[in-house]
Structure 1
Amino acid sequence: MNNLIKPLETGKLKLKNRLIMPPMATAKAEKDGSVSKAILDYYDEKTKGGYISLVIIEHSYISMQGKASENQLSVAQDSLIEGLNKLSNLIHENGSKTIMQINHAGSLARTEITGKAVVAPSVVVNPREGDVIPEELTVEQIKGIVEEFRNAALRVKAAGFDGVEIHSAHGYLLNQFFSPLTNKRNDQYGGDVHNRIRIHLEVIKAVREAVGEDFPILLRLGACDYKEGGSTIEDSLIAAVEFEKAGIDILDITGGLFGFIKPGDKSQGYFRELTEAIKKVISIPVILTGGIKEPEAAKSLLAEGKADLIGVARAILKDSTWAREAIENLS
């Protein structure tokens, strides 16, 4: 049997199959971050026929200070909700569910793009793109960022999406708090893993209070830095348990500070050791991504219990018919 076509139900989210399109930055938004015709056309092409059960929209900035790049999608203002609603409606009409990923870039932001100071948990150059010395966030500023995540999640819900994903991976702000390489704080937000995920738990709480109990909240976790002194799978096992307790509905697992790669491993589903370990300590569904190009590989990873949902990114980016062929032809 093709277990890719097996439905999944979390209680809050019903998915008709196990195939996810994970977030991939397109740089197709308008200059002000609003939804463009190019964005609508892109997601229309990728979701035609509804073969992908869930589309997670590319990372979208929650504030100008948190903007990562030019032509990045924004959820920073209420005026953007109308355009975002066109995007959610289009994907729904094509037959897929859709969730928006919300993000603050932290030390991966650039003043020449944002017009704002670059901020981070600590005065540490980001190892992913290291040339800017950020300012250390005060506790008061951290509270403000938590509120910005809350407001962004409210806009996502108002725009008709099926849920929201909090981004804590690939070297962005929440991931910077999670990693000991970039979090050198001596207060309640630094030190052991429980302190390093304090901001995550505050964001989850604020978002949950804003969107209500029935609205799905996902979290994308950069579960390992694969570098000495960085975050480890042991950290992520502790974090995963706390995130489930805090109300996360699905955990989306990927790489940490250094992005969506695993050094020295190009096998299909190269984060499977992380997802397999995390699945053993939580009961909520886990998404596995990472170099999956062939439907057979997706099927095998599901059959082996490595994850509950499979994210296929680059293969779908390259070939918009990939999902249809995977669902229809794999037996």
Structure 2
Amino acid sequence: MTNTQTVQSLFRPFTLGKLSLSNRTVMAPMTRQKSPNGVPGPDVAAYYRRRAENGVGLIITEGTVIDHADSSNQENVPFFYGEDALNGWATVLSEVHEAGGKIVPQIWHMGARGNVNEYSQDEILGIVQEFAKAAAEAKRLGFDGIELHGAHGYLIDQFFWEKTNQRSDRYGGSLLARTNFAAEVVKACREAVGPDFPIILRISQWKGSDYSAKLVETSEELKQFLEPLVDAGVDIFHCSTRRFWEPEFEGSKLNFAGWVKHLTGKPTITVGSVGLDGDVSTFFTKGSGAGNASLDGLIPKLENQEFDLVAIGRALLADPAWVKKIRDGNLDELIPFTPQALQTLY
């Protein structure tokens, strides 16, 4: 069973350039739909502050959409543009920093309503610039970096995946060509924020519409996929999986985050049912909750430096003090995840 001694590696500091974290825990981005008209209010600020007060090393906000007609298809998802929404995020930022935390917004475009073939090259360039504008606003407000959502079948990932990208221009065709849109987004954001502002890119094999989907089948293909993204300016890769303990490729014990770090030398964030006894698919397919689980399978991987940071999703959603309780060994006080946790902001 996990105890305070075995989790020490989870509470070592992490530093990358100007980003200094007190420990290796990350709050995973989780859509809450609690921002009417796209504006995060005081309840959203209090929600994030509670995690900062309880020791989360880095908070990645829920997805915040850019200023584009297709960027959101859900109500009450926060914007990252416009005076009211940005003022709301300034309050969130102030509360988190006052509590001693670090926070980055996840910059998001949910995807083409049809498919990416419908976008002209001029429209693509416009979308790229909207990502860059959001990045610039994040730096202006004083955030500690940004995360670009390039996973789970949303827009950037629609360009990555051959099943949703049938373009025949420079944005489609080969695996390398399908990375061009993401690389242009990263480059534009890098130009907007300068060399020292951290850019995280979230990637996944699986899609919201297909848990068995694969962008790449081999480590060689993964290397080819990652190289242009590194060259574009990604600082940290957030490697989304349903189960962090599963090896990514046959014949290796490394998970997705482990392989990405091995191939790029860049820091990686692992994620996927950390602290829970059921993966995220059971919630979406069955609406079921999950019990608390030991971290014994996670800690050796972290100690072996297979990855650098650990993102916690539903466990931290259910229990704002999850990190503090793990640190202090108060495992009997952990609150299990239930679907009802999604209905509240606490």
- Give the superposition deviation at 1:76: 2.6
What residue ranges of structure 2 are gaps of 5+ in the alignment? 249-253, 276-293, 331-346
Structure 1 counterpart SS, 2:64: strand
Matches within 5 A, 1:1-331: 2-30=8-36, 32-49=37-54, 51-63=55-67, 64-107=69-112, 118-122=113-117, 136-224=118-206, 230-234=214-218, 235-255=221-241, 261=242, 273-293=255-275, 294-329=294-329
Give the superposition deviation at 1:35: 1.3
SS in 1 for 2:264: coil
| Alpha-carbon distance between aligned partners in 1 of 2:151 and 2:318, rounded to the nearest angstrom | 23
Displacement of 1:328 after TM fit? 2.6
Question: Is the Cα contact below 8 Å between 1:98 and 1:163 reproduced in 2?
Answer: yes
Q: 1:62 to 1:270 in 2, by over 3 A?
A: farther
Indicate the larger mover: 284-293 or 217-226: 217-226
The CA distance in 2 between the partners of 1:267 and 1:248, in whole Å, is 22
The Cα offsets for residues 95-147 of structure 1, whole Å up to 9 and x where unpaired, read as 1110000011113xxxxxxxxxx35313xxxxxxxxxxxxx111111101001
Q: Structure 1 residues 302-311 or 181-190, which shifts more?
A: 302-311
Paired residues, number: 296
Q: 1:326 to 1:279 in 2, by over 3 A?
A: same
AA aligned to 1:72 is V
Give the drift of 1:160: 1.7
Equivalent pair of 2:51/2:320 in contact (CA under 8 Å): yes
Q: 1:268 to 1:38 in 2, by over 3 A?
A: farther
The secondary structure found in structure 1 opposite 2:79 is coil
- Structure-2 change in CA distance of 1:82 and 1:308 (3 Å): same
DSSP 3-state at the match of 1:66: coil
- In structure 2, the partner of 1:126 is none
More divergent stretch after superposition (88-97 vs 229-238): 229-238
- The Cα shift of 1:270 comes to 7.3
CA contact (8 A) 1:223 1:236 kept: no
Alignment check: 8 A CA contact 2:71 2:111 kept: yes
Asked if 2 retains the 8 angstrom alpha-carbon contact of 1:68 and 1:105, the reply is yes
Tell me how far 1:170 sits from its aligned partner: 1.1
- Does the residue aligned with 2:70 lie in a helix, a strand or coil? helix
- Give 1:319 deviation, angstroms: 1.4
Moved more, 319-328 or 284-293: 319-328
**Aligned 8 A contact 2:111 2:154 in 1:** yes
Task: Give the whole-Å Cα distance in 1 for the aligned partners of 2:232 and 2:128.
Answer: 15
Give the partner amino acid of 1:54. Answer: L
Separation of aligned partners in 1, 2:46 and 2:247:
31
Q: Deviations over 1:220-278 (max 9, x none)?
A: 012355778741254433232222222111100114xxxxx3xxxx5757776211211
State the superposition RMSD in angstroms: 2.2
Alpha carbons of structure 1 residues 297 and 4: separation in structure 2 relative to 1, 3 Å? same
- Uncovered stretches (5+) of structure 1, i.e. residues with no partner: 108-117, 123-135, 256-260
TM-score (norm 1): 0.83
Q: Deviations over 1:31-68 (max 9, x none)?
A: x211112212221222223x111000011110242013
Runs of 4+ with deviation above 3 angstroms: 223-230, 233-236, 266-272, 294-298
Aligned with 1:82: secondary structure?
helix
Task: Check conservation: 1:29, 1:38, Cα contact below 8 A.
Answer: no
